[in-house]
Every structure is written in C-alpha cells, then in structure tokens.
C-alpha cells in the first residue's frame, strides 16, 4: 500500500515504524525540521518537511496516488484540514487521531476512521486496571457498551454451569454475552452446552458496560 502519514510525534513515530516494517510505500509529512530529519534518518521512507494543510504539500507527496492517509498530529484542526484536502484529492482511506471527543462527529462526517485521544484511553485503561484487576483488557463501544476479558474465579456465581443453564437460572444478566473463552491455551467458542470454569479467561460483551452485577457473576465480587 501507498500510505501518507502526517505528523511524526509520539503517535506518528509509532505508526511510521509499523507501516515501514510491513514494507509499504510510505511518505511522511512533518513540519518540524528536527522530527523530519530524525524520520529520514531512522526509517526507509520519503519525508516531506512542510505544512500538510497546504494542498501543494499533499501534491508534493503524490497524494493522488495514495491508498490511505493517517493524520496523527496533536491538533484536531490540523487533522481535519488534512482530511478535507485528502478527501478532495480522492484518497480512499482517511484515518485520524481525535484529541477532543466532542470533535468525533466532525471526523466521521468526513468519512474518516477515528481513534479517540490515545493518552486518555491509556489513562482509562490504567485506572480500570486498579479498580477491577480481574479485567485483563476492554474496549468501549457506543452507548456505554463494552467488550472485556475477565478471569473467572472460584467465587463466581456459576462455576461448572453450562451457559444455557446459567441463562435459565437468571445468572447471566440481560444484555450480557460470552463471546469466547480461553482455557489452557486454547480458544473455546461458547455454545449452550459450554461450561464456565474457574480459571477461564472469558471475553464478554455487556450492553451496559462493566457493572457490579456483571463482575459478581464472574468473580463473586464487584
């Protein structure tokens, strides 16, 4: 793929490392001369030391032939302008970091795939790890729903029960689905006759997020 990366800061540098490692054709646009020089020195890619909000800069980067553009700067206004220009040029895939959650709809209206402020997501992850250590990973969805991984303990309210039995007994709250189970290094696809066992790492969808009742079902405590 031919990918243009705008910005070579904390996030951009990680993106550049990944896309160049996969042997894509990569052009990096970075306005800061020191950052631009560092990218040119460290990675096998073309670097354009210029302002990406100028159409001439994107033309210099041969944007009309790009498959995707990834905007990673710390300024939403800059990222929006870059995507507007990229859309007008006809780049098929628009991707951007969004620093302010209030701006998410603006980016989506442009047809962009977006990632909310990564620093905030990291902070949220760390706080969740302290508050609910049994949760190993999670992803927030729209409307308060979440998908998360949780280790089932001996104190769970349904050990050795089949999923169908747990549902019939009302032990599985409404809007909660067990999507997958990791057991002894293997992935189990849950079915009605699948048992939940202590030590399982369950991947769970919860319409209302990680609530105390959900936690009690899998760990015995909230």
For domain 132-219, give the CATH superfamily.
Regulator of K+ conductance, C-terminal domain (3.30.70.1450)
- Tell me how far apart the alpha carbons of residues 107 and 109 are, in angstroms, rounded to a whole number: 5
pTM surpassing 0.75? no
Give the domain ranges of the chain. Answer: 2-116, 132-219
111-149 pLDDT tens trace: 998 876 666 666 666 766 666 667 777 777 767 788 888
Q: How would residue 80 be classed by pLDDT, with cut points 50, 70 and 90?
A: very high
CATH topology for the 2-116 domain = Rossmann fold (3.40.50)
208 versus 63: the higher-pLDDT residue is: 63
């Amino acid at each position: 793929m031919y990918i243009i990366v705008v910005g070579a800061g904390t996030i951009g540098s990680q993106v550049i490392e990944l896309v160049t490692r996969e042997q894509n054709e990569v052009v990096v646009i970075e306005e800061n001369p020191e950052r631009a020089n560092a990218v040119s020195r460290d990675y096998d890619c073309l670097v354009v030391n210029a302002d990406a909000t100028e159409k001439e800069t994107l033309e210099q980067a041969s944007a009309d032939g790009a498959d995707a553009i990834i905007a990673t700067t710390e300024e939403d206004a800059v990222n929006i302008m870059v995507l507007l220009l990229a859309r007008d040029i006809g780049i098929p895939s628009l991707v951007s970091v969004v620093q302010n959650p209030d701006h998410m709809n603006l980016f989506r209206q442009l047809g962009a795939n977006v990632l909310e402020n990564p620093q905030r997501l990291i902070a949220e992850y760390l706080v969740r790890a302290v508050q609910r250590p049994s949760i190993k990973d999670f992803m927030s969805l729209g409307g308060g729903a979440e998908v998360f991984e949780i280790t089932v303990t001996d104190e769970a309210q349904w050990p050795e029960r089949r999923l169908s039995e747990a549902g019939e007994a009302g032990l599985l709250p409404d809007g909660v689905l067990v999507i997958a189970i990791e057991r002894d290094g293997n992935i189990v696809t849950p079915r009605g006759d699948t048992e939940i066992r202590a030590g399982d790492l369950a991947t769970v969808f919860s319409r209302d997020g990680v609530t105390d009742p959900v936690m009690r079902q899998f760990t015995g405590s909230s």
